[in-house]
Amino acid sequence: MKVYRRLVDVPRGFGPSVVTVGKFDGVHAGHRAVLSELLSVAYERSLTAVVVTFDRHPRGVLAPSACPVALVGPSQKLDLLEERGVEAVLELTFDDAFAKLSPREFIANILVNTLKARLVLAGADFRFGARAAGTVETLHECGRQDGFDVRIVDEIQPDCGRRVSSTWIRELLCAGDVSHAARLLGRPPTVRGVVVTGAKRGRALGFPTANLSPNSEGFIPADGVYAGWLTRGKESYPAAISVGSNPTFEGGVPKQVEAHLLDHDIDLYGKTVDIAFAERIREMRAFESVPLLIEKMQEDVRVARAILAPLSSA
């Protein structure tokens, strides 16, 4: 997959293309429906399948106090788009200058002159350009003038009559409901980061853990103990995962992610890993004594094995 970060990086003669534009935070089931349509049209009409996205959430520039935590980090998003078969991504810097582009400038500079768009896919509520003044009607009008078609992609509503959205998924993760979030994402929610040295309490208790750096990518779910997997490169290992501050001990680090591999003890320090959450086992809580904590951790491991065994063999 080709990744371009500036308009001038896109080679001359690029296209013609079919394009979709959006934040693609999480690359969830709704996004995947758009991407499936994108790839289908690209194949049918011999066009290059292109996603235009941004290096940050637009609210980070326009309304920082209202900017949500991203479901996935930049490298995660690009990996997910590549997995879906996208041929090229134009990841633009969303800054003050970009925010001031009029809808007509956005279409002319990006869709027409740079990407040579022949078809643009969008949701019914798609907005773009300065003050979000551009609408689907704007796209249609400009398309008639500039020679590209516009196709509206239906929203995905799996249950409750509610469309799949990044907001909904964040709500589920804040509640620790990672299994429901996984159904909306089309995969387990995942955090990516570098393994760092922790307090080594887990090893002292007989449960060594891989501790993620606080500077990790991806939305960390609610405090608790989870069953899931740790992936390094092409190897995945079943794990019992702790999210929280280790309340049994004083001086814990807030919102730390630690993964205890169920069947392996591997030196992962300094390595970048993915930690995926399959199901929540229990809430995080303090224990009256270390022996009681160890007893509960042993039970957590047994439950994690029971949860992951059928998933691993599926």
Tens-digit pLDDT profile for the chain (314 aa)? 999 999 999 999 998 999 999 999 999 999 999 999 999 999 999 999 999 999 999 999 989 999 999 999 999 999 999 999 999 999 999 999 999 999 999 999 999 999 999 999 998 889 999 999 999 999 999 999 999 999 998 877 776 678 899 999 999 999 999 999 999 999 999 999 999 986 666 555 667 889 999 889 999 999 999 999 999 999 999 999 999 876 655 555 668 999 999 988 888 999 999 999 999 999 988 777 778 888 888 999 999 999 998 876 55
Give pLDDT tens digits for 11-51: 999 989 999 999 999 999 999 999 999 999 999 999 999 99
Instruction: Return residue ranges of the chain for CATH 3.40.50.620.
Output: 2-152
Give pLDDT tens digits for 218-267: 999 999 999 999 999 999 999 999 998 766 555 556 689 999 999 888 88
Q: How far apart are CA 92 and CA 219, in angstroms?
A: 22
Q: How far apart are CA 183 and CA 63, in angstroms?
A: 30
Q: Structure tokens of 159? A: 């249950």
228 backbone dihedrals φ, ψ, rounded to 5°: -175, -155
Terminal-to-terminal C-alpha distance of the chain: 29
Instruction: Return residue ranges of the chain for CATH 2.40.30.30.
Output: 189-313
Nearest to 115 by CA among 56, 54, 58, 47: 47
Q: Structure tokens of 296? A: 């509960």
Q: Which CATH class for the 2-152 domain?
A: alpha beta
The pTM assigned to this predicted structure is: 0.90
Q: Structure tokens of 10? A: 């896109």
Residues 149 and 119 sit within 8 Å (Cβ to Cβ):
yes
CATH architecture for residues 189-313: Beta Barrel (2.40)
